Chains A and B, each alone.
Chain A
Amino acid sequence: MTELALSLDKEGFLRRLSDWSPEVAERLAENEGIELTEAHWAVIHIVRDYYARYRISPATRVLVRLVREKLGEDQGRSIYLMQLFTGKPAKLVSKIAGLPKPANCD
């Protein structure tokens, strides 16, 4: 893993989306005290696919529904996502996925 400094904004989001790679995701997650597992990656892929399609990071309520559709009822709950990505899942998963902050979250 390279140790090049990542260009981040003051909230820790990547400034250039093209800088992202799975290794970068690991480092961004580490900054947040999260170790990525397959369960995290499943959600990260969903969010990146959504961004590729609509050029937007999903808000929490949209994320919950997407995860429910793709991964199932047990995963499609806020509580599951909050456990994976701490208290603010939509914001944190976008950050680790190398995407902009969702529109309606502070």
Chain B
Amino acid sequence: MKRILFIQRHGPHGSLFGQETLDAILMGSAFASCSVLLLEDGIYQVLKGQDAGQLESRDYSVTYGALRDYGVETIYVSARHLAARGLATEDLLVETVPLDDAGVTGLLHEHDVILGA
């Protein structure tokens, strides 16, 4: 089975990248073994307490909680990018595995396909 790594680099609501990547993860999980890596502002995708009620945008952050049901193995996060934003893994809606830069490099090399905007 192919191993796919989806990289999420964009914050939520400001563009459609986040939602499109999430849709791709849900689709990809049907036929491949998938993991997710949150880099840069992609970390904000899973920040707790999002409320998009006042925007013309769907609050899809909670959908990350369903990824386990879809067979997504692990959600990784760059520890450096997390710290740069003053955040900790406890601030995130889902369980994540923080990686240092060497860990991210290793992760990229472990996967057959890497997708994400």
Contact = CB atoms under 8 A, between A and B. Distances in A.
Interface of A: 50, 53-56, 58-59, 61-62, 65-66, 103-104
Nearest to B30: A104
B62 A54 contact: yes
A74 B101 CA distance: 48
Contacts of B30: 59, 61, 104
Interface residues of B, number: 14
Contact of B65 (A54, A59, A62): A54
Contacts of B69: 58, 62, 65-66
B26 A54 contact: no
B107 interface: no
B5 to A, nearest CB: 18
Interface string B69-100: 11000000000000000000000000000000
Contact of A104 (B26, B59, B62, B66): B26
Given A61-B30, A104-B26, A104-B30, A54 B63 contact: yes
